[in-house]
Amino acid sequence: MQTRKLGNSGLEVSAIGLGCMGMTYSYTPFPEKKDMIVLMSKAIEQGVTFFDTAEVYGPYNNEELVGEALTPFRNKVVIATKFGFDIKDGKMVGVNSHPDNIKKAVEGSLHRLKTDVIDLLYQHRVDPKIPIEDVAGTVKDLIKEGKVKHFGLSEAGASTIRRAHAVQPVAALQSEYSLWTRQHELEIIPTIEELGIGFVAFSPLGKGFLAGKIDENTKFGDGDIRKVLPRFTEEARTANKTLLELLSQFAEKRNATPAQIAIAWVLAQKPWIVPIPGTTKLHRLTENNGAASIQLTKSELQEIEDASAQIKIMGTRYTEAMEKSTGL
């Protein structure tokens, strides 16, 4: 697999990473731990070097899983994790980026990941109570101490990104980006391009919808986040099939799958964008990674642009309350 550099940071990762959240969080039923350890080793065999986790996934057990799986390959991989929440009685109870909490979170993450240094440390969500300059300054200190290599932000706005970057260079912004979630094209992507910051795109397959295996008849189990998302109501799934039909048309032309076209589209937007699709299935891992070898032409990208512009996506990506507080 090809590699990409996240902006001007010098941090080089596989063109497609692996989001590990769903292995223990948000997408029930969860698979066996041993199977996920095998999956991550297979990902490395396929050229994946970039793995994404967070303390709040579980909480904690996702980092423990990633740490156990990647310890034998530590010098070959880049591990990204996140801080920024209060966790009480095993549940996330709100944002907290107080410097003391950041330091505490990092110590916990280092222990669970079985590593001496975190390659990329994100603030998971902006904490309105703590100036972003204080957050960036705390991470800067952690970098000086050798506990962290690179600083990242997740779902931050343009002004926040600029303020943080002025204190400690931001290597990457992680936010949701796909053919059906494109609001960051207006202000965020131009801002990070100007500043030389990489973009890590989570949910490039729209939480699985753009892979083409979810329809209006799909039943989501208890604990599956999609059960409560406006974009995944039965009515929305029926309406949003139009976008799937578009992907399927291009997939047929390129002898590919809709998922591969969706990921290839993200890859084609900028050379410093790295999608991190998540999966718990080996055949999906192989399918997703196959997108790295698909280069959409300018005319194909324009066709997709023109056609998708006529499609109105039904349903917001999160509920209003989740937009304010979620750790996803």
Residue type, 261: I
Does the annotation count 25 as an active-site position? no
What residue spans of the chain are helical by DSSP H?
33-45, 61-70, 99-112, 132-144, 158-167, 188-195, 234-239, 241-253, 258-269, 282-289, 298-308, 320-325
Q: Are 253 and 259 in contact (CB under 8 A)?
A: no
Q: Which residues of 121-156 are buried (b: 16+ CB within 10 A; e: fewer)?
A: bbbbbbbeebebeebbebbeebbeeebbbbbbbbbb
Q: Cα–Cα distance between 260 and 257 in angstroms, integer?
A: 5
Give me the catalytic one of 27, 57, 60, 177: 57
Describe the crossing of helices 282-289 and 33-45 by its angle, rounded to 10 degrees.
Answer: 20
- Cα torsion 148, 154, 160, 166: sign: positive
Residues that are catalytic: 57
